[in-house]
């Protein structure tokens, strides 16, 4: 049950602290996904809520659900207009040389029979490349790893995972695709959607801050102060 994972709820929205390992969409392997829990998240509504955006299976933290179609349309438009404030925490496999920065690196999909598909950095003008921008801040360092806050402007598939590897030069710990050498250091990709805020006309924003994950603490890191504009 996910009822105890609710961070925000009103007549339009639910923000859920999605557990790591739970896919948003039903996966090909038949594993339990968010879809299997939607009926338990109606809270008196006839309609099941729907996910407005996606988090990777391994990623924990703030996931927005819309409780009716009109709200879903408004929230989707806010994401598309880049009006949504998002921040993520990640533990990366090395310590960046700078304290903060911005990664401007377009992304495109590549696929091979041997390795399957993945996203890679690309020249902005390359065919099928999509612009992607991520701001980042070094929060702490411990045992050769770093706790980093990412604030993405765009929401491309695997954006932060590729920007960590190709922009910062350090893959996210536990990432099985972009950080194979670090895969044994954690049971999952250590990426956490810590904060989400969606503006609404005439109403307070839909907003929540997800608790610091236990597996991040197990790596020797303490919960950081929230961003100044959260």
Question: Could you report the per-residue pLDDT of 32-62, keeping only the tens digit for each?
Answer: 999 999 999 999 999 999 999 999 999 999 9
227 lies in a domain?
no
Q: Please determine, for residue 63, whether its predicted confidence score (pLDDT) is greater than 60.
A: yes
Question: What 8-state DSSP symbol labels residue 119?
Answer: E
If you average pLDDT over residues 132-148, what whole number do you get? 97
Confidence band, pLDDT 50/70/90 cuts, at residue 183: very low
Distance between CA atoms of residues 194 and 198, nearest Å? 14
What is the distance of C-alpha 163 from the center of its chain?
13
Q: Please determine, for residue 64, whether its predicted confidence score (pLDDT) is greater than 80.
A: yes
CATH number at residue 194: 3.30.2350.10
% pLDDT > 90, the chain: 80
122 lies in a domain?
yes
56 counts as catalytic: yes
Burial annotation 51-71 (CB, 10 A radius, 16+ → b, else e):
bbbebbbbbbbbbbbbbeeeb
Name the phi and psi angles at 139, rounded to 5. Answer: -100, -40
Q: Please determine, for residue 112, whether its predicted confidence score (pLDDT) is greater than 90.
A: no
Catalytic residue among 17, 56, 58, 175: 56
228 lies in a domain?
no
Q: Both tokens of residue 47?
A: 């309609």
Distance between CA atoms of residues 158 and 218, nearest Å? 24
Q: Please determine, for residue 199, whether its predicted confidence score (pLDDT) is greater than 90.
A: yes
99 lies in a domain?
yes
pLDDT of residue 180: 67
pLDDT of residue 185: 66
Range of the domain at 137: 3-217
β pairing state of 60-66 and 13-18: antiparallel
Give strand pairing partners of 15.
Answer: 8, 64
pLDDT of residue 115: 65
145 lies in a domain?
yes
pLDDT of residue 184: 54
Q: How many domains does the chain have?
A: 1
226 lies in a domain?
no
109 lies in a domain?
yes
If you average pLDDT over residues 175-188, what whole number do you get? 75
160 lies in a domain?
yes
């Amino acid at each position: 049950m996910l009822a105890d994972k609710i961070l925000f709820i009103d007549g339009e929205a639910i923000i859920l602290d999605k557990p790591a390992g739970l896919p948003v969409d039903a996966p090909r392997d038949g594993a339990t996904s968010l879809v299997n829990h939607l009926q338990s998240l109606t809270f008196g509504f006839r309609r099941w809520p729907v996910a407005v955006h996606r988090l990777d299976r391994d990623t924990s933290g703030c996931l927005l659900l819309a409780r009716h179609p009109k709200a879903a349309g408004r929230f989707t438009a806010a994401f598309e207009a880049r009006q949504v404030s998002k921040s993520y925490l990640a533990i990366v496999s090395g310590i960046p040389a700078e304290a903060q920065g911005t990664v401007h690196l377009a992304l495109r999909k590549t696929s091979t029979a041997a390795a399957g598909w993945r996203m890679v950095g690309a020249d902005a003008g390359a065919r099928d490349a999509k612009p992607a921008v991520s701001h980042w801040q070094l929060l702490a360092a411990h045992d050769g790893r770093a706790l980093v806050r990412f604030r993405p402007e765009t929401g491309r598939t695997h954006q932060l995972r590729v920007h960590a590897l190709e922009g910062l030069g350090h893959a996210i710990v536990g990432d099985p695709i972009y950080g194979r050498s670090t895969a044994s250091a954690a049971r999952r990709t250590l990426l956490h959607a810590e904060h989400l805020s969606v503006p609404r006309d005439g109403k307070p924003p839909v907003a929540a801050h997800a608790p610091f994950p236990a597996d991040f603490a197990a790596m020797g890191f303490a919960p950081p102060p929230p961003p100044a504009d959260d």
